[in-house]
Amino acid sequence: MKTVMLKSDRLFDEVLPTVEEDDIWIADRNFCTLKFLFGIAAGQGYFIIRQHQSLPWQATDDFRLVSQSDSGTVFEQNIILSADDGQLLKARRIKVCLKQPNRDGDREIFILTNLPFEVANAILIAQMYRKRWKLETLFQVLTENLCCEINTLGYPKAALFTFCIALVAYNVLSTVQAALRSVHGTEKIETEVSSYYLADEIKGTYRGMMIAIPPDEWCVFQNMTFTELSLTLKHLAGLVKLRTFRRHPRGLKKAQPKRTYLKNKPHVSTAKILTQKKLQNNTP
């Protein structure tokens, strides 16, 4: 645990200097540490970060109801964060109660932010946090479907070039998905069509297309206007058999047993506990 914490601190030391005034940093709970939150605030930036259970905080009032909808209920309260050096930071704690659990099986999500209420209400904060999944999914597609990281014992010198090629390929994949959405509907494509199978289809047929179709045949696309190309892509999208690329979503994760967290001791070193236990056993 100590080694992991030191590594995280070094990463924060590299990231925090990039914070600029009025930036809004949206992140998952793994980034919810006092150092990161206070660092963003010190750079005159703002954060929307899911609360980690080990983060120490103090409430200044009770939850108040903000909104109810078919998907869930939103509450909000004010809290204070205390740094090790005595600094205090006022923040808002937003509680989202879901009627249907998310893909991790969670029914309650707590989000911390230092954005003023006049800038963003609790509903907007929850929506902004939810949209971060699109970026995280992008990197998952880059890694798993477009091979932006070569699976070897070490990273080659061309790792950055490989990553950039994957980004370009993702733009191509996004264009294909946009054409499919315009013909078959956004919900159907996002819920039923697998980006992995689409990328695999492109990788599998590209080489054969380059052999079977002469280079001159591709020039027609180069000379098309934006409107002409859009209509062509929509026509081709209408010919796609979507069942070939059907997504196979996984089931909900099994609920993990609840852990006990101590606010005064947010981190526990397993190595330290084992060492103390060993010393106790060796004591005559």
- Give the pLDDT confidence of 50-102 residue by residue, as tens digits: 999 889 999 999 999 998 877 789 999 999 999 988 899 999 999 999 888 87
Mean pLDDT over the full length of the chain:
84
For residue 206, the tally of other CB atoms under 10 A from its CB is: 10
Residues 199 and 270 in one domain: no
Residues 111 and 63 in one domain: yes
pLDDT at site 115: 96
Residues 99 and 155 in one domain: no
pLDDT band, very low/low/confident/very high, at 3 (cuts 50, 70, 90): very low
Residues 59 and 163 in one domain: no
Residues 154 and 114 in one domain: no
Residues 152 and 64 in one domain: no
> Which residues on adjacent β-strands are paired with residue 26?
48
pTM for the complete prediction?
Answer: 0.57
Residue 11 lies in a domain: yes
The whole-number average pLDDT for the span 130-157 is 68
Residues 173 and 262 in one domain: no
Alpha carbon 158 to chain centroid, angstroms = 26
Residues 38 and 94 in one domain: yes
Helices and strands (DSSP H and E) totals, the chain: 9, 7
Domain, as residue range, for 175: 145-245
pLDDT at site 237: 93
Helix residue ranges per DSSP H, 63-194: 122-144, 159-184, 186-192
Residues 260 and 240 in one domain: no
> Which residues on adjacent β-strands are paired with residue 113?
48, 92
> Which residues on adjacent β-strands are paired with residue 146?
none
pLDDT band, very low/low/confident/very high, at 230 (cuts 50, 70, 90): very high
Length of the chain: 284
Residue 251 lies in a domain: no
Residues 6+ apart with CB under 8 A from 140: none
Domain count, the chain: 2
Residues 157 and 182 in one domain: yes
Residues 154/108, Cβ–Cβ less than 8 Å: no
Residue 284 lies in a domain: no
pLDDT at site 9: 61
pLDDT band, very low/low/confident/very high, at 155 (cuts 50, 70, 90): low
- For the CA atoms of the chain, what is the radius of gyration? 24
User: Does residue 5 have a pLDDT over 50?
Assistant: no
Which three-class secondary structure state does DSSP give residue 95?
Answer: strand
Q: Tokens standing for 159?
A: 């790792």
Residues 93/115, Cβ–Cβ less than 8 Å: no
Residue 224 lies in a domain: yes
Residues 31 and 95 in one domain: yes
pLDDT at site 132: 78
Residue 272 lies in a domain: yes
Residues 12 and 98 in one domain: yes
Residue where the block lists tokens 């970026």:
135
Residue 122 lies in a domain: yes
